[in-house]
Chains A and B, each alone.
Chain A
Amino acid sequence: MKNPKSAYSVSTKKEKSDTHIIVVWVDNEAGVLARVVGLFSGRGYNIESLAVAEIDSKRNISRITIVTTGTLQVIDQIKLQLKKLVPVHKVADFKREDKSVIFKEMALFKIVGNTSKIKKAINACKKYNAIILDKTKKSNVIQITAFRRDIDKMTKNLKKFGLVSVSRTGAVAMTRGDKIFN
């Protein structure tokens, strides 16, 4: 805009956004997820997926894994703002492309159809650690663990084999080798 009629400046910055996986260790107390999620929505950061569960019942620690996109500056802010929250213990950040980190999501597929279709569906899922959790004459529930993009692909591909319902988790992450986050 050449002549902005505003008491505020006009945004001119256009920087490259990257996908990052942010892992947050928090006290498992009432409202802690709302604090973390509220920080994202309040400051206009984006959440692609979210996974959270208690990982240490003795110390009462939960681990939150958030997939987000943003410029370098935004990702930095996300980390620093998270660290300011009182129940947050530590924050780790990985780029999606990072080879030294494993990212996995889980999905459940319900396939309804004849035996041949179900068979084809199971075959298609095989390379993603497929496990059959429920089986009837007309249906199957298949669990797979894979990357986000593979699950995206499968939800598309399985349509023709009778996919009627999908349920999936957000990504969880862990470093390879003996290294741990600190």
Chain B
Amino acid sequence: MNIEDIKVMVCDDSMFARKSMVMFITSLGVKQIIEAADGQQAIDKYAENKPDVVFMDIVMPVVTGIDALIKIKETDPAARVIMASSIGTQQYLKSAIKAGAADFLQKPITNDQVKQILENVCKGVI
């Protein structure tokens, strides 16, 4: 798969975090980007769009990122969800891994980390 063909969902209640990541992902050539501002929107938009990879924050209103991850994995066990959170304590890491996260990025997330993830998605490594 080429980077132009992948569909990416960015879920974060912070407009700043969403816009920064969307801006960078767009610069890499990704054309299909879906944004979600809370966990419930992530669940709904995942079902609707079936993205190839999801970047998901944890601390969010309405439904947390971990709960959204569990729901998404229930409906699609092959879902690739990368937790991208400011809080990467042992407890959060364990919860994310247990819920089926493909990877965990601690904020502030660098462009290189995002690029690496997307390249791995293209290669089918994640």
Chains A and B belong together in one complex: no
Residues of A within 8 A of B (CB): none
Residues of B within 8 A of A (CB): none
